[in-house]
Amino acid sequence: MVHHSSFVDEEGVRKACGCPLLPLKSHIKGPAPVSDQDRTDIVDEAITFFRANVFFRNFDIQSPADKLLIYLTFYINVALKRLEGCRTLAEGTKAIINLGLEKVPVPGESGFPFPGLFADPQSQKEAELFRNYLKQIREETSGRLLSVAYRPNGTPNKWWLAFAKRKFMNVIAL
């Protein structure tokens, strides 16, 4: 059974491209509201549910937050593919930083992994807001992913990196 996001109440949550800009437990600058450090955020959910959700070819969307969960699951898959050949935490950190420097496509641009998942931006301002949110959430996800993909001694955690070979929703991560 697919794990869905618990963030279904959207009152007062700002949106861009039909995606709720959910709060993050983050120190990274960006448009996301700041969440309490003791509360679960969408990045925690994505990492927690990743190993179960990555096996599914279909995902029944029950809320707009599920769309963000789909995007993050795909991003984690991409990040794990980049980490696959990295034998130390230092190498993995370098690979993740390079991934973070890549241009973040938004809906309507080539390279966006799920056309139709989010609405195309109505203005350049909305496109930039969404791009900045995705960049912030990707950076936050990358940092937290490193802590589970590598053990405290800096060696790879094979129980996480083995999932780099999976295709989420039949989409091949590059």
Crossing angle of the two packed helices 64-83 and 124-149, in degrees rounded to 10: 50
CA–CA gap between residue 123 and residue 33 (Å, rounded): 22
What are the structural domains, with CATH classification, of the chain?
17-165 (1.10.1760.10)
Whose structure tokens read 């936050």?
Answer: 140
CA–CA gap between residue 41 and residue 30 (Å, rounded): 16
Per-residue pLDDT of the chain (174 residues; tens, 9 = 90+): 677 777 776 677 899 998 999 999 988 899 998 988 888 899 999 999 888 888 777 778 888 888 999 899 989 999 999 998 899 999 999 999 989 888 899 998 988 888 888 999 999 999 999 999 999 999 999 999 999 999 999 999 998 988 887 766 555 554
Task: Identify which of 3, 1, 157, 2 has the alpha carbon closest to the alpha carbon of residue 80.
Answer: 157
